[in-house]
Amino acid sequence: MARRVGSLVPLAAAVLVLLVAAGAGAAGHDDEAAARRTMEEFAGFPASDGVDGERSSSSAAAAFYVDSDGLQRQIDELASFSDSPAPSVTRVLYSDKDVQARRYIKGIMNQLGLTIREDAVGNIFGHWEGSEAGLGAVATGSHVDAIPFSGKYDGVVGVLGALEAINMLKRSGFQPKRSLEVIMFTSEEPTRFGISCLGSRLMAGSEELAQSLKETVDNQNVSFFDAADSAGYKMHPEDLHNVFLKKDNYFAFIELHIEQGPILEKEGIQIGVVTAIAAPASIKVEFEGNGGHAGAVLMPARNDAGLAAAELALAVEKHVLESGSIDTVGTVGILQLHPGAINSIPSKSHVEIDVRDIDEKRRNTVIEKVHQSATEISKKRGVVLSEFKIINQDPPALSDKSVISAMEFAAKQLNLEYKLMISRAYHDSLFMARISPMGMIFIPCYKGYSHKPEEYASPEDMANGVKVLALTMAKLSLQ
Ligand SMILES: *[C@@H]1O[C@H](CO)[C@@H](O)[C@H](O)[C@H]1NC(C)=O
Ligand SMILES: [Zn+2]
């Protein structure tokens, strides 16, 4: 144990020295001998290959950089596989463009010498075998599917950036102990089949999803299996179980992602270390009343389904605020009235509610209170609560302490300012947390924009994220 701790400190010093040397900053010359020894010992640099130590150290330093131009070129190329014109990106699960994007990612994995595996639904794994391949691997990854008319960075930074992180470690001569793996997840976005994080949800062993996929069709009545088949993934429903992963498969999972919110940019902080991912619950509610003529039916005689919905929307806000936590949020994003005429009392209303929190119990308490309110409102207003359906209620996830400390360690070594923060959007990491210690690295994005063509992350911010990811993986790989 003491030896292991001791070995990590010089590694850190080594990487720091390498990075400082690679940049324009002043190098800590005192540490260079130790750095060289450590890199030789742990990162696989040749002890002597005809050059003196000074030069082999600086060539390693020269190799430990992010190829920002290359990364940007790849991001732009990937963005060209789109069903909508640039600068927007539309790339829907199992479409031709999705297939082209998959081919592109596999091409890069191939160039990097990674061993490629694809599971039944098309989750793609690029594997770099460590010296102790029997140990759980350190994995990273994200998605490249894109909702209609969105941008080119969401998810993509966590796939192409992860591949660049691998490239960087390879260039610097790093040799992993635990294997490293880059995952491209199938269908993080719910666009085609209404199921978000389809690939990671299955990996995490969702039997419920494996069952429901048998009946799932898209809005053109194309079944999930036919769609997969057309993209080259021919499978039997039973094959879905082969997607499930065992809990000890990964030692850690880290996802690099744009923040999709304004905090980092506003505060001028380079890295977000995510400590928890909030999870949504969605609810559908319907009220029914008698409707009637807006002039003829007097107020005491009405049972207005629209007013019941309006009152419920206010109740959602009230219950969320009563939780007392800034992390609890609730939204009524859909409120539809039937028949929807100015001179007709609404006879039906349809409300959809999204409640999120990082604390599952607190979120579920809000949902119970909303349910109570819906019942009370329906009684008071003489309308029927014809539906109160919880569509999904995924548990939130906490990042693992060991992964958080590896990410903090990396940011510190790189002299990057970082902030512990919560992910209020959810990601494949939410599901990976069910089967692996998990952590996420956020980078700033322009004005917090996401899911629209204006989405943007600067090359510098992406490079910082890639470096933190590379170091985090290197550190965890040696544990
Ligand atoms: C969808 O496809 C199934 C099977 O091909 C068929 O039985 C069903 O009628 C179709 N539904 C619609 C709405 O077209
Ligand atoms: Zn995403």
Q: Which amino acid is at 316?
A: V
Ligand nearest to the CA of 226: 1
Shared domain for 385 and 406, answered yes or no, is no
Shared domain for 388 and 406, answered yes or no, is no
Q: How far is CA 117 from CA 107, 112, 138, 369, in A?
A: 13, 14, 16, 46
Both structure tokens of 193: 């089949």
Residue ending a domain, among 376, 393, 410, is: 393
Q: How far is ligand 1, taken at its centre, from the CA of residue 147, in Å?
A: 25
The pLDDT assigned to 392 comes to 84
Q: Which amino acid is at 121?
A: V
- Say whether pTM exceeds 0.85: no
**Separation between Cα atoms, residue 420 and residue 439, nearest integer Å:** 11
The pLDDT assigned to 1 comes to 32
List residues, by chain if needed, whose CB lies under 5 Å from ion ligand 2: 154-155
Residue ending a domain, among 12, 28, 63, is: 63
**Separation between Cα atoms, residue 320 and residue 32, nearest integer Å:** 55
Domain count across the chain? 3
Q: How far is ligand 1, taken at its centre, from the CA of residue 236, in Å?
A: 20
427: Cβ contacts below 8 Å, ≥ 6 apart = 142, 188, 197, 255, 257, 277, 440
Q: How many CB atoms lie within 10 A of CB 48?
A: 9
Find where tokens 């299996």 sit: 225
The pLDDT assigned to 59 comes to 57
The pLDDT assigned to 52 comes to 42
The pLDDT assigned to 4 comes to 36
Shared domain for 272 and 379, answered yes or no, is no
Which phi and psi (to 5°) does residue 167 adopt?
-55, -45
The pLDDT assigned to 58 comes to 55
Q: How far is ligand 1, taken at its centre, from the CA of residue 190, in Å?
A: 21
Q: How far is ligand 2, taken at its centre, from the CA of residue 146, in Å?
A: 8
Which phi and psi (to 5°) does residue 469 adopt?
-65, -45
CATH number, domain of 230, equals: 3.40.630.10
Q: How far is ligand 2, taken at its centre, from the CA of residue 361, in Å?
A: 26
**Segments forming the whole domain that contains residue 79:** 68-278+398-477
The pLDDT assigned to 77 comes to 98
Shared domain for 248 and 101, answered yes or no, is yes
The pLDDT assigned to 34 comes to 36
Shared domain for 208 and 256, answered yes or no, is yes
Shared domain for 467 and 324, answered yes or no, is no
Both structure tokens of 23: 């940049």
pLDDT per 10-residue tile (average), the chain, 479 residues: 36 44 36 37 39 48 82 98 96 98 98 98 98 97 96 98 96 93 97 94 97 95 98 96 96 98 97 95 96 97 98 98 95 95 98 94 97 98 97 92 96 94 94 98 96 95 97 95
Q: Which amino acid is at 74?
A: Q
Q: How far is ligand 1, taken at its centre, from the CA of residue 261, in Å?
A: 41
435: Cβ contacts below 8 Å, ≥ 6 apart = 203, 204, 205, 245, 246, 247, 249, 250
CATH number, domain of 342, equals: 3.30.70.360
